[in-house]
Amino acid sequence: MEKVVERILISEEEINQKVKELGEKLSHDYKDKDVLFICVLKGAIMFMSDLSKAMSIPIEMDFMAVSSYGASTKSSGIVKIIKDLDASIEDRHVVVIEDIIDTGLTLSYLIKILQNRKPASLKICTLLDKPARRTVDIKPDYSGFVIEDHFVVGYGLDYDEKYRNIPYIFIPKSDIIK
């Protein structure tokens, strides 16, 4: 990994601690409700998995896949649904689980679609928030770390589909990014 890591931004320990805190907060906030977590594939896979295990209440899970980045570090601005939810979210208490809010285009598009399906409530939980690059007005209800304007990978986040499995979040060396 020395060949590709410029700098570790968030260590495995820091992620674990933050996920534990978010799990406690969400468990408290949803203790009297049936909550449905929607994982935004593929980036949120690690966060969804660890966060759901940090919950002290039972939750339901569903998955949605959208894509706007492709093999690039820049959002195309066009968000495509690649896989939709399996079930209706009408009257459900929904929390959308994301790995990162960057420009905000992906989530603002997704939230509009989900809001139209009339959930009882709809909140956003993101591990990373990069407000410097926001082009649309969207804010998370739950957020792990606010980060500066770096392209980051690891813990679900990819560059050209690689590094999602690395258990920490790092800034890659510039020569591996085209």
Active site residues per annotation:
102
Over the window 143 to 172, marking each residue x when it contacts ligand PRP by CB under 6 A and - when it does not, the resulting string is ---------------x--------------
For ligand PRP, the closer of residues 35 and 124 by Cβ is 124
Task: Name every residue whose Cβ is closer than 8 Å to that of residue 152 and which is 6 or more positions away in sequence.
Answer: 9, 100, 128, 169, 170, 171
Q: Residue 29: which of ligand HPA, Mg ion, ligand PRP, none does it interact with, CB under 5 to 8 A by kind?
A: none
Instruction: Work out whether 35 is an interface residue with ligand HPA (CB under 6 A).
Output: no
Provide the residue type at 62 as one letter. Answer: D
Angle at which helix 45-53 crosses helix 12-29, to 10 degrees, equals 60
Cβ pair 30, 57 in contact under 8 A: yes
Restricting to residues 128-167, name those near ligand HPA by CB under 6 A.
151-153, 157
By beta carbon distance, the residue nearest ligand HPA is 102
Q: Residue 152: which of ligand PRP, Mg ion, ligand HPA, none does it interact with, CB under 5 to 8 A by kind?
A: ligand HPA
The residue with tokens 């209440």 is 57
Task: Name every residue whose Cβ is closer than 8 Å to that of residue 145 and which is 6 or more positions away in sequence.
Answer: 10, 14, 18, 127, 128, 129
Distance CA(106)–CA(159), nearest Å, equals 17
Interface with ligand HPA: number of residues (CB under 6 A)? 7
For ligand PRP, the closer of residues 19 and 100 by Cβ is 100
For ligand PRP, the closer of residues 27 and 67 by Cβ is 67
